[in-house]
Amino acid sequence: MSSVVSGVLQKYSNDAGRLMDILLDILAENGYISDEDITSLAAGLDMSSADVEQTVSFYHFFARKPMAKYNVYLNSSAIAVLKGREKIATAFERESGCSFGKVSEDGMISLDDCADIGMADQEPAALINGIVFPNLTAFRVKELVRDMRKGLSVDDLRSHGLGDGMNNSEYMKATVTNNIRKKGAVIFSEYQGGSALEKVKADRMSQEQLIDLVKQSGLRGRGGAGFPTAMKWDFCRKAKGEKKYIFCNADEGEPGTFKDRVILTERPRLIFDGMALAGYAVGAEEGILYVRYEYMYMKEYLESILTEMRKEKALGKDASGIKGFNFDIRIQYGAGAYVCGEESALIESAEGKRGEPRDRPPFPVEKGYLGMPTAVNNVETLCSVAKLVTNGVEWFKSLGTGQSTGTKLLSISGDVKYPGVYEVEWGFSINDILEMSGGDPAAVQAVQVGGPSGSCVGPNEFERIVSYEDIATGGAMMVIGEDHDLLQDVVLNFTEFFIDESCGSCSTCRALTVMYKKTLEKVLSGDGRRKDIDAMLSWAPIGKASRCGLGQTAMNPICTSIKNFRYLYEGHIKNANEQYEGGFDIAKAVADSCEVVGRRPNL
């Protein structure tokens, strides 16, 4: 057993439940997880090698072989494509002398694609050895590769200066920019750390009274589903279990979403106070903040906030001076898997397993982390709780609409002048959003509301109101200008994203996503028929039988774009004869084969 593995096992007391942390530490130290590491871990954790391997193989960032000195993961999301990703990819290949999926001959540089990295407001962007490099240009790529060849450390590659706000702190030193374009009343207004818990203590609020306060506020989960927060907490409080847990879901992996990145950067204390309030309400002693791997650059900074809170006794025994309230928080990082944003998958991952969603019931509030009642809340939801406790229910209800109280953070990206984070009261229209962010309604083809799993809407729906009453959103708003090929650059990209991110458990998700892609490609190639378009619409109910939201919504990019942009699909139909099946193009097939064997086609 290597000294690295034995040291890490000791650090986590040989606890198999901390396998994710163990693997992340080995990855940070060695750059990959070797066969020997897996054998040693299995022995040290009293597991089979297959069990360790199945966790390792699930996550994108757990490399299984030695990587290059500099590992470049270039974001391939739809927004990155709209912002010129292909030029950047070509520049990396030209400068490094290697192609994507490969390591350069000198072993210095590897190039890989990756799914969204939470930087849609500053694309094209890449992760290099876990550090974010946003706003890339071909010239910047040239500089970066030149500096890699010189052997500069990855920290020293950040010669273009650091970002704003806390990105600039000694803990983060990140080149990321916050891009906070609009500060609203809840998340980005002033907050004195600890004041929400002070209020609970001063008012001698019971668990029930706190839950009732949240109920009166009308607060609903900000992740997109809109489940009433108070109801979730009440279920968890009443559920039987020796221990209870609070999770804050900061795994925002939905392409186009980056608002949690900014809250984690600028308002971590608001999040942690919200978690403490949730812990108090349900009777939990431990809170776990689950953060996506792409935000690893924040780890030290977030840990420093928790250390401060422990020093001021806001965490620990009798936390915030509330007698009998013993509560602490730990941070759990993921390793690259979009599906872990689903609450039961997130819990599986935090237990050290593959992030596969569980069958429900039982729901996490009854049987969640380690089989105990667990409440999983969104970052923004927990921040809203801290603010509404501090400022009062009436204040909170005065914001937004009847059924959608408070504010909503939007991650606006794409073809707008001012991409970034906007905190607005619920009840605005898509046209309002375009006006705010500098989008030209006359030049906008579509807005993707709520990320790939949301809706692709056209100008005839831009007066719709973003709220739980009309068109709900988890926060992503991707604006797609007229100049782009909506089906090729956006819809196909989203469909491929779902294929890559499906955990593969349900046949309805595993197979249907591929069927959608193949049929869309057939239409785009000109071989499709109108019946193919109708077939794609008719398959949607099959996907709804999938176990989790990924499979249940994976058809949305295609189905909502057919509904609103059917003319784009029909524009690709070349043959009106519905009887004739033109799915096979012999000339193209021969040309492809000739390319593989290096012959000239002779048709």
Report the interface residues with ligand SF4, using CB under 6 A.
339, 357, 502-506, 509-510, 546-548, 550-551
Q: What's the closest the beta carbon of residue 549 comes to ligand SF4, in angstroms?
A: 7
Cα(357)–Cα(340) distance, integer angstroms: 8
Strand 286-291 with 328-333, pairing: parallel
Nearer to ligand SF4, 302 or 548 (CB): 548
Cα(153)–Cα(148) distance, integer angstroms: 8
Q: What's the closest the beta carbon of residue 345 comes to ligand SF4, in angstroms?
A: 8
DSSP H or E run through 44: helix 35-45
Token code pair at residue 325: 């309230």
Q: What's the closest the beta carbon of residue 514 comes to ligand SF4, in angstroms?
A: 12
Nearer to ligand SF4, 265 or 508 (CB): 508
Nearer to ligand SF4, 186 or 548 (CB): 548
Question: Which neighbouring-strand residues pair with 476?
Answer: 411
Q: What's the closest the beta carbon of residue 223 comes to ligand SF4, in angstroms?
A: 16
Q: How many CA atoms lie within 13 A of 547 on its CB side?
A: 19
Nearer to ligand SF4, 163 or 557 (CB): 557
Q: What residue has token string 């559920």?
A: 239
Distance of CA 125 to the CA centre of its chain: 15
DSSP H or E run through 96: helix 85-96
Nearer to ligand SF4, 21 or 342 (CB): 342
Nearer to ligand SF4, 205 or 555 (CB): 555
Q: What's the closest the beta carbon of residue 518 comes to ligand SF4, in angstroms?
A: 18
Q: What's the closest the beta carbon of residue 333 comes to ligand SF4, in angstroms?
A: 20
Q: Are 252 and 77 in contact (CB under 8 A)?
A: no
Considering only the C-alpha atoms of the chain, give the largest distance between any 2 of them, rounded to a whole number of Å.
85
Q: What's the closest the beta carbon of residue 546 comes to ligand SF4, in angstroms?
A: 3
Q: What's the closest the beta carbon of residue 599 comes to ligand SF4, in angstroms?
A: 41
Q: Which of 549, 495, 536 is nearest to 345 (CA)?
A: 549
Nearer to ligand SF4, 178 or 453 (CB): 453
Q: Which residue is nearest to ligand SF4 (CB)?
A: 551
Strands (E), 383-484: 407-414, 420-425, 428-429, 444-449, 455-457, 465-466, 476-481
φ/ψ of 205, rounded to 5, equals: -70, 135
Q: What's the closest the beta carbon of residue 371 comes to ligand SF4, in angstroms?
A: 20
Residues in the chain: 603
Token code pair at residue 393: 């229910």
Nearer to ligand SF4, 71 or 344 (CB): 344
Radius of gyration of the chain (CA): 25
Strands (E), 76-154: 109-114, 126-128, 131-133
Q: What's the closest the beta carbon of residue 448 comes to ligand SF4, in angstroms?
A: 20
* Cα dist from 316 to 199, 270, 319, whole Å: 18, 17, 5
Nearer to ligand SF4, 127 or 346 (CB): 346
CB-based burial label for 592 (10 Å; 0-12, 13-18, 19+): exposed
Q: Which residues contact 304 (CB under 8 A, 6 or more apart)?
A: 171
Q: What residue has token string 């499979």?
A: 551
Nearer to ligand SF4, 352 or 357 (CB): 357
Q: What's the closest the beta carbon of residue 496 comes to ligand SF4, in angstroms?
A: 15
Nearer to ligand SF4, 131 or 514 (CB): 514
Q: What's the closest the beta carbon of residue 506 comes to ligand SF4, in angstroms?
A: 3
Cα(522)–Cα(106) distance, integer angstroms: 40
Q: What's the closest the beta carbon of residue 557 comes to ligand SF4, in angstroms?
A: 15
Nearer to ligand SF4, 194 or 355 (CB): 355
Q: Which amino acid belongs to residue 50? A: A
Strands (E), 430-507: 444-449, 455-457, 465-466, 476-481
Cα(202)–Cα(310) distance, integer angstroms: 20
Nearer to ligand SF4, 104 or 344 (CB): 344
